Structure formats: structure tokens, C-alpha cells
A and B are shown apart, each in its own frame.
Chain A
Amino acid sequence: MSHAELLSPTDVQAAGESISMLKAGLNQVLLDQGGVTERVVTAVLARGHVLLEGLPGLGKTELCKGLARLLSLPFKRIQFTPDLLPGDITGTYVIEGEKRDFSFRPGPLFASVVLADEINRSSPKTQSALLEAMAERNVTVLGHTHPLPDPFFVLATQNPIELEGTYPLPEAQLDRFLFRVVVPAVSAKTMSLMLTQRHRGQPPAQKPVLDGAALKAVFDFVDRVHLPVPVADFIGRLVEATHPSHASAPESVRRFVRYGASPRAALGLASSARAWALGKGKPNVGFDEVKEVAGAVLNHRLVLSYEAGLEKVGADKVVNDLLAAVAEVPRG
């Protein structure tokens, strides 16, 4: 997809204003978590799904609910439990009383913003029900495919410490999330603000900043952000270098990574870099935008080795080494 004309400064400015309002609204929901809200907004602008990972009580669920309110989009919340079934989230056919005919009753997936809370507590069978919905934005029940509303976002949360009775997400499921955003702990100052400015911790009432049309316009602006060929080459070489068997892989990747990122990661890098560049007021993607979103795109797509677990090497460190090793301009 290429556009003859680059985004004009006016377009970029208009998109930037919408994005700024969205960010500002989220920052009112989640105090002192600017990085988290930026990534979430970027993922939404890139039409990607976000996996929020953090300790309980950090405001992940509130963030998702606030985003839905700000975008004035249909919101559904699914609390994943071990006894949850796929039909519980996708919907099922039921017999209506008077007609005595089967009719499809949509599940909670049929919403623009879906919060999959504690997603790792349900069984893999139920988790797998999200695969089609997240990748193709469709749901197939009893041979009938039902399209999901557009836009469709899945914002999932998971608790990294309560691992008993949980089912780790499979790699295929993880790959369908554009970002994995780690929600850090808040500082004392932030908690003081929460205590003084909020009633029982409830966020302030917010008005929607974007409707469906405005959001679609922003999506168009994101798509028109130009991605130069050298930057696209850089994205390709970056994803290629995540594979430990490749010659260009750095030493840390060779040691700590078992499996590298997929081409879906490259696509996610490009789209998220575009959204990130537009959020920065640029009509094109540069190397810096790619590097800034690379951590969020790649950290959950790298399958680390045992050696990484023994040496307590995380995916973020590997991604940083990767970015340092891969040159922007190939030499020779």
C-alpha cells in the first residue's frame, strides 16, 4: 500500500491532536503510567491486540475500560476461569421459543473492545477460541463464520506471579498480540494522588474523545505514514537476526533464544512504527521509531532458552542487544 502523496503537515497535526486527546484520557485513568498508555494507544492505532502483564491492582482492567469509554466503542469483559468454554466467549446457537429455530447468540467476543481478564487462567481449549478472532477478526461456530465488529481489539491481562492453576499462553496465542506491555508498579507519589484525588479509587468520569469515524480517519492517517525502503530493510534484518541459527544473529540471541520472531512480528513492527511516528507528528517512519517499538513487539515473540532462565536474562535485554548489533545500513 503506497500513497502518492505523503501526509501533509495538517493531516499529521489533526491525527496528532486526536492521539493526544486519547493519551491524555488514558493518563487520567492510569496515573503515572505514560509509557503504558502510549503503547496501548499505539497498539490501538495500529489495530493490534495488547497483552497487559503486571501485578494485581495496577489498573489494567481500568485502563481497558477507560479506553473503551474514550473511544465510545462497544466493550465486553470476559473473566477467564478454568471452567470457561470456547462457546462461552464465541457464542453459540440456541433455539428460540416461538420460531423453534436455532439462532446464533453472540458471545462476549462480539464487541470492539474485549477485555480478557486473567487470560492465563482458562484452559488452552478456551484460549484457542481467541485465535481466529484475534487473527482474522472472525468467529466460526458450527460451520458458520461470524465477523467481529470493526474495529476489534483484545486487551488481555495476566498475572505473572500467580502461576498455580494457570495455563501459560501458547506461542501461537502470544504471537497474535501486537504488544506485550508490562505494567510497572506505581510510585508513592502516584498512590498519594490516587488517594487524594479519587473517591474510593474510582477514575473520574470521562467523555469520549473519538467516535468511530474519527477513529477510522486516524487509522487512515496511520496507513499513509511512509515507510522508506531502508527502514523496511532494517525491520527485515532485525527480525531475521532474532533467529539464533542465522549468521547475522548476535551472540546473545545465539545463547538465549530458542526460536525467533515470525513475519507477523515484522508486520507488527511496521504498523506500530507507523502509528508511533504519527503519534510523534511525522509523516514517515524512521529508524528511531522502529527501535522504540521493537521491544514491545518482539519481547513476547522470542522463545527464550533454559540458559536465559538460569542467567535471569529477559527478552528485553536480548532485544536491546539485537538492536545494538543490527546496523541501520548494511555494509559490504
Chain B
Amino acid sequence: MAAGDESRKSAFVLARIRRVQRRLNLEGALAAAVFPSWVAVTLLAVWRFVVQRQVGVFAAAAVVGAVIAWRVLVRKTGISLAQAAVIADRRAEAGGLLLTRLETGVGEWELGLNERVRALTPPPIQVRRSVGALWLAALFVVVAMVVPLPPKVTNNVNAAAATKLDEVMEKLEAIAKEEPLDDAVTAELQRLQEELAENAFDAADWEAADALDKELDRKAQEAGAELSRAEEAAKELSEAMASAQGAEGATREKEELESALMQLSDGQAADAEQAMNQALGKKEDGAKAEGEEAEEGEQRKEGEKGKEGEKGKEGEKGKEGEKGKEGEKGKEGEKGKEGEKGKEGEKGKEGSRSPREQSRGEQATSPSKLNDLRQALKSRQQHLQKSFGQGQGAPQPSPQKTAKGGKGDGKEKGEGEGQGGEDGTGKGEGKPGEREGDGREHASRASKSGTGRGDGEETELIYGGQAEIDPDRLAFQALPKGQGGDEPGELWGLKAANPKKNSTGHAAPSSSGGAATGDRAPGNREGQLLPRNRALIQKYFDNAPRNP
């Protein structure tokens, strides 16, 4: 009975104390919820506006984190029962009797204590501030969820990637104008653009973009190199055309005069004056034709060069271009007759035949005029032979022009062209029409006319290792006297520079060295300097003492 009564009294006091405890804890819990709530809603709003993905998941995580933080704070700042009892004792002005009641019976002091406990008013708590802050937090999160999202801002990484892809795209378009590109490059660029659009541009994509950029740079460099090579080739071609024009004009003039001379000798020309005029007219026509041919040839060559320039990578085409310069095309006489070139050649034939036909229809002139004409033609021919036959005064011919040596009809011409090649020994005889036709086609084609004119037999050109060198040409020949041929074992001019030890009986001091005394024999300043005998030079250096 007494125990039950005691427990009842204790329950009454404890209930009052717990009430105070709950009230105080409510205040503490509300205050503790403010900071985690604001942190959570702020992070949620930032996540929604910045990241804009998986807002629900992040909201749940934020709520869980806020609840955990709130629980921790409540536990730290919570009011225990003993603390609530002290506060209740203070509130009831019990002077420690309420605390004593929780520890021991107070006996006769119970009535007074109960009166005080009944009159106990719960401590005032200030929750308005906390509740207001929580309401604001709720309002903030609602507004943050309702406000429409701004356009997604590309981060710096994607902006840099977009810039990179734009640069690559510009390069791709620039190179595509010059040469067709591989489809793989375009597909790769498209794939990178899709990755960028999906915001999934990662390190591998960066590497792919860099590799693509480098590939395009390499192609751009190659295209630039091809353009520069084509430009140089065109420049060389124009120079070659210019030089060929001068030499070809002189050759044609010579051929026209020779043709006129032959007509005269054959009696084909009815009138010497007419033949002369014909020859001179032909010369003018030939000049005109040459001008036209030159233009056409340049255009054709430029066309071919252009094509070959496009096929710059194809080495065969380049070789063909070189062959064209070297006169290898001269061998292709049939090609020259065919096609447009052949037509132009026919035009040339027609141009040359028309005065013949005219001359055939005219009557022969008097023998005196004919003799005068012959004399004039002969002097003209000699003059031309001096100009073209010996080849020293004439412009230095190119390899193509060297083939024109075949046009010569004498030994003198052969010697004159001797340094240029073996074509001077050709003795074939061609038709004038063919020669003229060929000659008008192109400077390089004119080399074919070597087979059609001259006294010798027609020989073919031999190239490279297939050529057989005449052993007699390199046989030992003593130099002429006065030009080093005095002593068989000594090369003229070298003895003075490197005198033999016992030749004079005076040994020069090796330490000081012997100064060159210069030429002891007069040099061949008047005559032509012959090529040095290699065997003699070899022999000289083999016998010479070797200095350490």
C-alpha cells in the first residue's frame, strides 16, 4: 500500500518533470532542425539548377542527411530528466525539495511540494523563430522546384571541346576543297560531335580529336607541297618553252632555206625569186606557225602539267613529265602524228606543201637568175652551217635539241654536235614533210626529225646502261706538244705544282714546304684545251711519293 502510494506520488512528480522535458526538447529540436534543413534545401536547389539531373534521388539523399544531422544535434542539445527536474524545481520555487523528492521521500513536506508542483507552469519556449525558419526553408524549396530550369550551361570542358571540334571542322572543309577526304574522317568527326552533344566528351574523345586534327594538318601540308611542286614545274616548263622557242626558230629557218635550196637543185622551183620568196615567206609562215605551236605547246604542256600536278603522288606521271623534258617523247613519233598533235603536224605539212604546189605550176626562170639564187642560197647555207653546224656559236642545245644533230648531213656537223651525243653520226634520210610536220609539233618532237634527214643511217638512241662505250674513245692519246705532251709520264701543269724529288737534284725542305713556282711552260692559251687523260692522271698519282 505504502509502496503503491509512493509510486503514485513519484509518478505525479515525474509526469510534471517529463512535461517540462518534452517542452524543452521541442524547442531544442526545432532549433536544431533549422540548420540542416536550410543546408538540405539549398543543396537541393543548387543541384536542380546546376546539375539538373536525378533531382529526386538527390532530394531523398538530402532529406536523409538532414534527418541524421538533426538527430545528432538533438541528442547533443537534448534535455535529460535530471536537467528537467532542476528546471522544474526552479520553476516551482521548491528550493531543491523537488530534487530531493526524486531521491528520497519528503514525508510531511509532500503536501507543500505537491501544491508547488501543481502550480508548476511549463517553461516558456521560443519556437517562433525556429518555426519561421523552417517555413521559409519549405517555401524556398517549393519555389526552387517550381521555377523553370534555365538553359543548361555547358561547362568549360565541353566548351573547350566544342571549340576544338569547330577548329577540326574548319580544317576538314578547307582540305576537302583541295582533295577528296576519306569517309572515316568525316564519320569520326560526326561521332565526336554527337559525343559533345550528349555531354559525354571524355578523355578518349579528346585524344581522338587531337589525332584527327594532326591528320588534317598532315594532309594540308602534303597538299601545300604538291602545289609548290606544280608551281615549280610550271615555271621550269615556261623557261624551257622560252629557250626552245629561240632555238627552234633558228632551226626552222635553216630547214626552210635548205628546203628551198633542194627545191632549186631539183628544179622544182619555177622561179628562183619565187623560191626565195617562198622560202622567205615560209620562214615568216613558219615563224607564225612556231608562235602558234609554241602557244599550243605551252597550253598542252600546261594542261599535261596540270594533270600531272594533280597526280603528284603518282611517280610514274612525274617520270613521264621528266621524260618529256628529256626528249624521250621524241621516240614516240607515231604518237606525235596521232591525235591533235598529228593534226597540227598535218597542218604544218599543208603549210609547207602549198608553196611547192604553187612553184610547180610556175615556169622556170633564166639560168643567170638561177645561178644567182644558187649562189645566194649557198652563201646562206654556209652562213647557217657556221651558225648551227659547229655548235659553238649557236645557243647551247638541250638534250632534246641535241637530237637535231641527226639533221646534219656531213662530218662537220657530226663533229660539231660531237659533244652532245651520237646523233650526229646518223645518216638516215627522211621526208621533208614529215620533218616539218614533226618539227612543228613541239620542240621535243622535233628531235625525231634526226631520223629523217642526214646522210647517214638512221640509228636509235640508246639510254643508260644499255649504251656501249667505244673503247677507242677512251684510249690513251698523248697530249699535243706544248700542252703537256712533252713527257709521256707527266701531266702538263701538275709538275710545277708538285715537283718530283729527284727531278732537279735539289730537295726542298720538307719542313717549310715548297712553294709552287707556277707554270714553267707556257699554257695553251691560244688553242683549245683538250680533255685531260685520265689514265695519265692515274699514272701520275700512282708514281708520286706519298707524303705522310
Contact = CB atoms under 8 A, between A and B. Distances in A.
Interface of A: 2, 4-6, 8-9, 226, 228-231, 282-289, 328-332
Nearest to A8: B108
A329 to B, nearest CB: 5
Given A328-B86, A332-B77, A228 B107 contact: no
Interface in B88-115: 89-90, 94-97, 99-100, 102-109
B189 interface: no
B103 A229 contact: yes
16 contacts: A5-B104, A226-B100, A228-B102, A229-B103, A230-B82, A230-B85, A230-B99, A231-B99, A282-B97, A283-B109, A284-B95, A284-B97, A286-B94, A288-B95, A328-B86, A329-B82
A283 B97 contact: yes
Contacts of B109: 6, 9, 283
A231 B83 contact: no
B250 interface: no
Interface residues of B, number: 23
Contacts of B94: 286
Contacts of B108: 8-9
B104 A226 contact: yes
Nearest to A233: B82
B196 interface: no
Contacts of A331: 77, 83
Q: Which 8 A-B pairs have the closest CB atoms?
A: A286-B96, A228-B99, A286-B95, A284-B100, A329-B83, A329-B86, A284-B96, A226-B100
B131 interface: no
A5 B103 contact: no
Contacts of A328: 86, 90
B337 to A, nearest CB: 116
Interface of B: 76-77, 82-83, 85-87, 89-90, 94-97, 99-100, 102-109
A8 to B, nearest CB: 5
A31 B106 CA distance: 38
A169 to B, nearest CB: 34
A229 B82 CA distance: 9
A286 B103 CA distance: 14
Most chain B beta carbons < 10 A, residue from A283, A285, A289 = A283
Which interface residue of A6, A231, A283, A328 has the most chain B CB atoms within 10 A?
Answer: A6
B96 A285 contact: yes
A8 B99 CA distance: 17
A231 to B, nearest CB: 6
B100 A8 contact: no
Given A6-B100, A229-B82, A283-B106, 8 more contacts: A5-B104, A9-B109, A230-B82, A282-B96, A284-B95, A285-B96, A286-B96, A328-B90
A329 B109 CA distance: 24
Contacts of B76: 332
Contact of B100 (A228, A330, A332): A228
Nearest to B97: A284
Nearest to A283: B109
Contact of B86 (A226, A230, A284, A332): A230
A11 B267 CA distance: 182
A286 B82 CA distance: 14
B171 to A, nearest CB: 68
B356 to A, nearest CB: 132
A72 B343 CA distance: 166
A229 B81 CA distance: 13
Contacts of A4: 104-105
A288 B109 CA distance: 19
A6 B105 contact: yes
A230 B86 CA distance: 7
Contacts of B103: 226, 228-229
A15 to B, nearest CB: 15
Contacts of A8: 107-108
Nearest to B75: A332
A105 B20 CA distance: 65
Nearest to B77: A332
B61 to A, nearest CB: 29
A287 B96 CA distance: 7
A229 B104 CA distance: 11
Contacts of A329: 82-83, 86-87
B104 A282 contact: no
A270 to B, nearest CB: 13
A61 B83 CA distance: 46
Contacts of B95: 282, 284, 286, 288
A228 B90 CA distance: 14
